[in-house]
A and B are shown apart, each in its own frame.
Chain A
Amino acid sequence: MGDVRDSTGRDDAPLTVEKAGGAGAAADKLPEAQGHSLSGKTVTINRPRQPLYDFWRDFTNLPAFMDNVVAVELLDEKRSRWTVKAPGARTVQWTSIITEDVPGRTIAWTSEEGADVPNSGRVEFLDAPGGRGSWVVATILYDPPAGIIGKVIAKMFQREPAIQARRDLRRFKQLMETGEIATSARTRSQHEEETD
Chain B
Amino acid sequence: MRALTWHGKHDVRVETVDDPEIINPRDAIIRITSTAICGSDLHLYDGYIPTMKAGDILGHEFMGEVVETGSRSSLKKGQRVVVPFTIACGGCFHCSKHQYSACDNGLPADNQDIAQAIYGQPMSGLFGYSHMTGGYAGGQAEYVRVPFSDVGPIIIPDGVEDDKVLFLSDILPTGWQAAEYAEIEPGDTVAVWGCGPVGLFCVQSAFLMGAERVIAIDHFPRRLDLARKFGAETINYEESKTYEALMEMTGGIGPDACIDAVGLEAHGFFADNVWDQIKVSTFMGTDRAHSIRQAILACRKGGRVSMPAVYGGFVDKFPLGAFMEKGLTLKTGQTHVQHYMPALLNAIMEDKIDTTFLISHRMPLEQATEGYKMFHDQQNEVTKIVLKPGMALAPAPGEKS
Chain B nearest CB, measured from A44 CB (Å): 7
Query: At the interface, yes or no: A188 with Cβ under 8 Å from chain B?
Result: yes
Cα A82 to Cα B238 in complex, Å, equals: 69
Query: At the interface, yes or no: A90 with Cβ under 8 Å from chain B?
Result: no
CB within 8 A of B109: which of A132, A177, A181, A186? A181
Contact partners of A171 in chain B: CB under 8 A: 109
Chain B nearest CB, measured from A164 CB (Å): 10
Query: At the interface, yes or no: B125 with Cβ under 8 Å from chain A?
Result: yes
Say yes or no: B89 contacts A178, CB within 8 Å. Answer: yes
Interface set of A (CB-CB < 8 Å, partner B): 44, 46, 132-133, 158, 163, 166-168, 170-171, 173-174, 177-188, 191
Cα A46 to Cα B135 in complex, Å, equals: 25
> Is the contact region of chain B dominated by helix, strand, or loop, or is it mixed?
loop
Say yes or no: B23 contacts A191, CB within 8 Å. Answer: yes
Say yes or no: B109 contacts A182, CB within 8 Å. Answer: yes
Q: Report the tally of A-B residue pairs with Cβ distances under 8 A.
A: 84
Contact partners of A132 in chain B: CB under 8 A: 93
Query: At the interface, yes or no: B233 with Cβ under 8 Å from chain A?
Result: no
Query: At the interface, yes or no: B112 with Cβ under 8 Å from chain A?
Result: yes
Chain A nearest CB, measured from B207 CB (Å): 38
Q: Mark B10-24, 1 if CB is under 8 A from A, else 0.
A: 000000011111011
Contact partners of B96 in chain A: CB under 8 A: 46
Choose among A177, A185, A186, A188 the residue with the greatest number of B CB atoms under 10 Å from its CB: A186
Choose among B26, B110, B148 the residue with the greatest number of A CB atoms under 10 Å from its CB: B110
A170-B112, A178-B90, A181-B109 given; name 6 further pairs at CB < 8 Å: A166-B113, A177-B104, A179-B25, A182-B105, A184-B134, A188-B21
Say yes or no: A187 contacts B21, CB within 8 Å. Answer: yes
Cα A189 to Cα B43 in complex, Å, equals: 31
Cα A37 to Cα B349 in complex, Å, equals: 61
Cα A46 to Cα B111 in complex, Å, equals: 21
Closest residue of B by beta carbon distance from A65:
B109
Say yes or no: B18 contacts A173, CB within 8 Å. Answer: no
Of all A-B residue pairs in the complex, the 3 with the closest CB atoms, nearest first, are A170-B109, A177-B91, A184-B135
Given contacts A44-B93, A46-B92, A171-B109, contact A181 B18 (CB under 8 A): no
Say yes or no: A177 contacts B92, CB within 8 Å. Answer: yes
Contact partners of B24 in chain A: CB under 8 A: 180-183
Contact partners of A184 in chain B: CB under 8 A: 108, 111, 125, 134-137
Choose among B24, B72, B111, B148 the residue with the greatest number of A CB atoms under 10 Å from its CB: B24
Q: Which of B129-148 contact A (CB under 8 A)?
A: 134-137, 145, 147-148
Say yes or no: B105 contacts A178, CB within 8 Å. Answer: yes
Q: Which of B93-116 contact A (CB under 8 A)?
A: 93, 96, 104-113
Cα A179 to Cα B27 in complex, Å, equals: 12
- A sample of 15 inter-chain contacts (CB < 8 A) reads A46-B93, A46-B96, A167-B112, A173-B104, A178-B92, A178-B148, A179-B25, A182-B106, A184-B111, A185-B23, A186-B20, A186-B57, A186-B137, A187-B19, A191-B23
Chain A nearest CB, measured from B97 CB (Å): 11
Cα A158 to Cα B125 in complex, Å, equals: 22
Contact partners of B137 in chain A: CB under 8 A: 184, 186
Chain B interface residue count, Cβ-Cβ cutoff 8 angstroms:
35
CB within 8 A of A179: which of B17, B26, B135? B26
Interface set of B (CB-CB < 8 Å, partner A): 17-21, 23-26, 57, 72, 89-93, 96, 104-113, 125, 134-137, 145, 147-148
Contact partners of A187 in chain B: CB under 8 A: 18-21, 23
Closest residue of A by beta carbon distance from B89:
A178
CB within 8 A of A186: which of B111, B113, B145, B148? B145
Say yes or no: B111 contacts A174, CB within 8 Å. Answer: no
Given contacts A46-B96, A177-B91, A191-B23, contact A186 B105 (CB under 8 A): no
CB within 8 A of A167: which of B89, B105, B110, B125? B110
Say yes or no: A174 contacts B105, CB within 8 Å. Answer: yes
Contact partners of A185 in chain B: CB under 8 A: 23
Closest residue of B by beta carbon distance from A158:
B110
Say yes or no: A182 contacts B108, CB within 8 Å. Answer: yes
Given contacts A44-B93, A187-B19, A187-B21, contact A174 B26 (CB under 8 A): no
Cα A191 to Cα B135 in complex, Å, equals: 13
Chain A nearest CB, measured from B68 CB (Å): 12
Cα A168 to Cα B108 in complex, Å, equals: 11
Contact partners of B17 in chain A: CB under 8 A: 186
Say yes or no: A177 contacts B23, CB within 8 Å. Answer: no
Closest residue of B by beta carbon distance from A43:
B104
Contact partners of A186 in chain B: CB under 8 A: 17-18, 20-21, 57, 137, 145
Say yes or no: B104 contacts A183, CB within 8 Å. Answer: no
Chain A nearest CB, measured from B148 CB (Å): 7
Cα A177 to Cα B148 in complex, Å, equals: 12
Contact partners of B110 in chain A: CB under 8 A: 158, 167
Contact partners of B18 in chain A: CB under 8 A: 186-187
Cα A44 to Cα B96 in complex, Å, equals: 14
Cα A196 to Cα B25 in complex, Å, equals: 19
Given contacts A132-B93, A177-B92, A177-B104, contact A182 B23 (CB under 8 A): no
Given contacts A187-B19, A188-B21, A188-B23, contact A182 B107 (CB under 8 A): yes
Chain B nearest CB, measured from A51 CB (Å): 13
